[in-house]
Structure 1
Amino acid sequence: MMAGRTRGRPRLGADEPNRREVILAAARELFADRGFERTTMRAIGSRAGVDPALIHHYFGNKDALVVEALRPDVDPAEVFGGLSAFLPQPGTEFITRVLHVWEDDGPRRDRAVALLRIAVTHPEIGEALSVFFLGIAHTALGECVSDDQRDLRLALIAGQIVGLVLLRHVIRQPDIAGAGLDDLAVRVGPVIDHYLSAQDPDVSGLRDAAR
């Protein structure tokens, strides 16, 4: 009598290191062809030639898989290193680098735009993408930001990046989508500098007026 297949972790072959990348490649193709909602784990497994259980082993669920498959393959330390050399105003250089991450690699941009579209309506994916953008802000500008309300400042910078990318590449607002990279960097850079070091405004008068 043949022993039945045991439950739990799927049995992996000698080519285990490659299977993860094969799954990601299959997921990218299907998400691009069918969209997020119509792509199933079973279909990804079929395209990749693996048991769907192996996909769950590596990635957990479809939300986690789409984040891993579509997020920009960017090393923030490599791309954004050395911005402290541009103090006291590193914002323009930072935005220039952010924009070039999106502009210089078409396939990477297309994957990231697809992920942004999904994130708008899927909170778990949106949270993972938020962590990614926050990671960029922390890595790039962690040495440049003031200590007071440090996390809030970096979160505002991450929000500025997300808003700019959404308007340029997803919503395609004509003025921003049609603007040159240098022009955008010069205009948005000072906003980043403000978030990095500006003193908190005195809002006591506004609070009193609101009572």
Structure 2
Amino acid sequence: MTSARGRGRPKLDRTVDNREQILTTAREMFSESGFERTTMRAIGRRAGVDPALIHHYFGTKNDLLVAALRPEVDVATVFAGIADTDATVGCEFVYRVVDFWERDPQQRARAVALLRIAVTHDQVADRLREFFLGVATGVLGEFVSADERGQRVAMVMSQMLGLLMARYVMRVPAIADAAASDLSRWAGPTIDRYLFGDITNPSDRR
């Protein structure tokens, strides 16, 4: 006799937060064993759930990885009043991004893990790109010049990704050892130019 919940549909345990338990277990196992050696079955076994439930919530292992490691950022709080400071928008944006990562090692560790994996996994890179573009667009959208808007936001994202990779993944000494205020002073003007400066090709000005 077929259950009322339908053939093949995983049974949900209403007494626990299955989704959060899966995410917590996935973070632990990805950290311990790496992405390739961690299976959905192993995660399910440690979390005490049917592996089918993991697929029900998250889909593929790539999607689970992104969900488990994506930083939890309250964008509205982190970037509140970004234009109401003595610094330019670009400088303030750089400072707040780096300062957030410095003050929250757990969130930084998740993001760094994603950056590392995204280099060799296209689907993870796609999800990470969507996340960073979403943050950049949401925070800086009102400050971006109308001309070549998409390109401007993309360049802001590329600048910040390069900076974060250099600081936290490659550990370039001058970048890794710098204070958030120094990085803001160095990279902020470039962000400002991408947002509302002249980005035309020099040859087009002739």
Normalized against structure 1, the TM-score is what? 0.90
Which consecutive aligned stretches of 4+ in structure 1 deviate over 6 angstroms post-superposition?
Answer: none
Distance 1:118 1:154 in 2: 23
Instruction: From the superposition, tell whether residues 204 and 107 of structure 1 become closer, same or farther in structure 2 (CA, over 3 Å).
Output: same
Stretches of structure 2 that go unaligned for 5 or more consecutive residues are none
Distance 2:195 2:155 in 1: 9
* Aligned residue in 2 for 1:130: 129
* Aligned residue in 2 for 1:171: 170
Distance 2:29 2:201 in 1: 52
| Structure 2 letter corresponding to 1:35 | G
| Structure 2 letter corresponding to 1:159 | S
Distance 2:11 2:129 in 1: 34
Instruction: State the Cα distance separating 1:85 from its structure 2 match.
Output: 2.9
Distance 1:58 1:131 in 2: 20
Q: Deviations over 1:125-175 (max 9, x none)?
A: 001001111111111111111111111111111111111111100011111
Is the Cα–Cα contact under 8 Å of residues 90 and 190 in structure 2 kept in the other structure? yes
Instruction: Name the count of aligned residue pairs.
Output: 204
Instruction: From the superposition, tell whether residues 87 and 199 of structure 1 become closer, same or farther in structure 2 (CA, over 3 Å).
Output: farther
* Aligned residue in 2 for 1:67: 66
SS in 2 for 1:142: helix
Instruction: State the Cα distance separating 1:37 from its structure 2 match.
Output: 0.5
Instruction: State the Cα distance separating 1:88 from its structure 2 match.
Output: 8.7
The answer on 1:159 being equivalent to 2:158 is yes
* Aligned residue in 2 for 1:14: 14
SS in 2 for 1:85: coil
Instruction: State the Cα distance separating 1:53 from its structure 2 match.
Output: 0.1
SS in 2 for 1:82: coil
Instruction: State the Cα distance separating 1:87 from its structure 2 match.
Output: 8.7
Is the Cα–Cα contact under 8 Å of residues 133 and 153 in structure 2 kept in the other structure? yes
SS in 1 for 2:35: coil
* Aligned residue in 2 for 1:95: 94
Instruction: State the Cα distance separating 1:203 from its structure 2 match.
Output: 3.9
Is the Cα–Cα contact under 8 Å of residues 12 and 18 in structure 2 kept in the other structure? no
Alignment of 1:66-85 (within 5 A): 66-85=65-84
Distance 1:84 1:148 in 2: 21
Distance 1:191 1:15 in 2: 51
Normalized against structure 2, the TM-score is what? 0.92
